[in-house]
């Protein structure tokens, strides 16, 4: 597969949350192919290893990975600070980690609401705070929030998810 190369991404530090599977893993692959220094997190202890091996086997720079539950604000902040200390200031932040569950707003337990908001809205806010400080030291950067069309169409069985993604879309 051939893709455009963007010299401005070469050697830039990129942080991707939820990068060990799905859309996040594809983002990690794409940034690595650009020659970026990629840091990513995910909930799977072994999820990072397989993706890292795959990327290194293609000749791209070795990504940095740590397993983390983004609902744990203290651990998440510490992880991002560690990535910055090891790789340098973040220039691109991709808030990709997400959680969904089927159910209407009126039937959603408060605990489910709290979990979805913690993953989909609070974690990106926490990460943004750390990354913006890092970006300012280098004169700027980019923040990409992975949202969902469900924030606008009001999917009846995705109430908490839709609300959280709507909040995320207006975060930056």
- So which residues are the catalytic ones? 161
For CA atoms 125, 129, 130, 134, the dihedral sign is positive
Tell me the pairing of strands 142-145 and 90-95. Answer: parallel
CB-CB neighbours of 74 under 10 Å: 8
Instruction: For the chain, list the strands marked E by DSSP.
Output: 13-16, 37-42, 64-67, 90-95, 142-145
CA atoms of 28 and 38, how far apart (whole Å): 7
Pick from 128, 141, 26: nearest CA to 70: 128
Nearby residues of 131 by Cβ (< 8 Å), 6 or more positions away: 15, 80, 90, 93, 141, 143
Q: Measured in whole angstroms, how far is the alpha carbon of residue 110 from the centre of its chain? A: 24
């Amino acid at each position: 597969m051939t893709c455009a190369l963007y010299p401005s991404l070469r050697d830039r530090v990129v942080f991707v949350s939820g990068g060990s599977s799905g859309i996040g893993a594809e983002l990690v692959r794409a940034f690595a192919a650009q020659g970026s220094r990629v840091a990513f997190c995910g909930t799977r202890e072994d999820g990072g290893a397989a993706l890292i091996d795959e990327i290194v086997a293609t000749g791209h720079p070795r990504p940095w990975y740590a397993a983390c539950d983004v609902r744990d604000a203290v651990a998440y902040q510490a992880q991002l600070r560690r990535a910055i200390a090891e790789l340098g200031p973040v220039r691109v932040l991709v808030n990709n980690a997400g959680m969904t569950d089927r159910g209407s707003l009126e039937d959603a337990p408060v605990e489910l609401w709290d979990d979805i908001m913690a993953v989909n809205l609070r974690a990106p806010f926490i990460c943004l705070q750390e990354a913006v400080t890092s970006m300012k030291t280098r004169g700027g950067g980019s923040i990409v929030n992975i949202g969902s069309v469900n924030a606008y169409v009001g999917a009846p069985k995705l109430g908490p998810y839709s609300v959280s993604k709507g909040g995320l879309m207006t975060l930056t």
